Amino acid sequence: MNLNVLFFAAARDVVGTDTVTVDVPDGSTVGELQQLMIQRTPQLERWSVALLWAVNNRYAGCDQVLHASDVIACFPPVSGG
Amino acid sequence: MIELTTEPIDYNQLTESVRDHAAGAVTLFLGTVREFTRGVQTSWLEYEAYPDMARASMVELEAEAFQKFTVTRIAISHRTGTMALGEISVAIAVSSPHRDQAFEAGRWLIDTLKERVPIWKKEHFADGRKEWQHPGMTPQANTKGAKP
């Protein structure tokens, strides 16, 4: 299945674009998607412990299973306020 | 009332929006752009949001605050884009029957907003450097990570 992943702030700067489309096997998890993104963009590796993932506007853990219709986002620790 | 805006925050209007005859207290918190952080001079700040999730997160915060505290009304506004020194990046107004709850809810709202709502701050320093602020990441990792 194809997934669109949105990137924000420093994560977007590292990836170099705000949206990436990736083809992953059905049933893939957030953790597997992160591994794939790090393979594609090795510079993400040093951020990996801090990267946050959101699925459908909610924070998601590594075990969460992804679906083609999901809105997926990846970003560094937040610093609003 | 929840708002994510690129316009200057009208905190008078925000404060008025929580006033209510059931309330005996109104608190207002303003987050403003600070010139010096640990001795380093800031020229201006840039805020970026993941707009859909930021709004959804602030709506959740508001609902949680109504459950945790005895408050009458809540208004939260966060601004994004570039802001000069002294400008207001966030405003939170709370009204409650008695003052303790308005103070406590306002404190909890700004603390939790800073932990949870997907908004990021980029410092533009007076010496020309610019740097995303990411709590929990070392400045070194921060600087290196931002380079290709």
Predicted local confidence at residue B134, as pLDDT: 84
**Domain encompassing residue B18:** 2-145
Chain B: nearest CA to A51, how far in angstroms?
10
CB contact under 8 A, B120 and A57: no
Chain A: nearest CA to B72, how far in angstroms?
23
Give, for all 148 residues of chain B, the pLDDT tens digit: 999 999 999 999 999 999 999 999 999 999 999 999 999 999 999 999 999 999 999 999 999 999 999 999 999 999 999 999 999 999 999 999 999 999 999 999 999 999 999 999 999 999 999 999 987 665 444 443 333 3
Predicted local confidence at residue B142, as pLDDT: 44
Helix axes B99-116, B51-68, angle to 10 degrees: 150
Predicted local confidence at residue B137, as pLDDT: 67
CA-CA distance, B72 to B19, in Å (whole number)?
9
Write out the DSSP string of chain B: -EEEESSPP-HHHHHHHH--TT-SEEEEEEEE--SEETTEEEEEEEEEE-HHHHHHHHHHHHHHHHHHS--SEEEEEEE-EEEETT-EEEEEEEEESSHHHHHHHHHHHHHHHHHHS-EEEEEEETTS-EEEE-TTS-HHHHHHHT--
The residues, any chain, with a CB within 8 Å of residue B69's CB and separated by 6 or more, are B96, B101, B104, B105, B108
**Domain A2-75 belongs to what topology?**
Ubiquitin-like (UB roll) (3.10.20)
Q: For position B96, which CATH number holds?
A: 3.90.1170.40
Q: Chains A, B: CB contacts under 8 A, how many?
A: 96
What interface predicted TM-score (ipTM) does this complex get? 0.95
Predicted local confidence at residue B11, as pLDDT: 98
> Testing the interface with A: which of B137, B140, B143 to mutate, by most A Cβ within 10 A?
B137
Domain tally for chain B? 1
Does B142 contact A at CB distance below 8 Å?
A: yes
Total number of residues shown for chain B: 148
Q: Which residue of B has its CA nearest to A16?
A: B148
| Residue A52: strand, helix, or coil | strand
At A10-52, the pLDDT tens digits run 999 999 999 999 999 999 999 999 999 999 999 998 888 899 9
Domain boundaries, chain A: 2-75
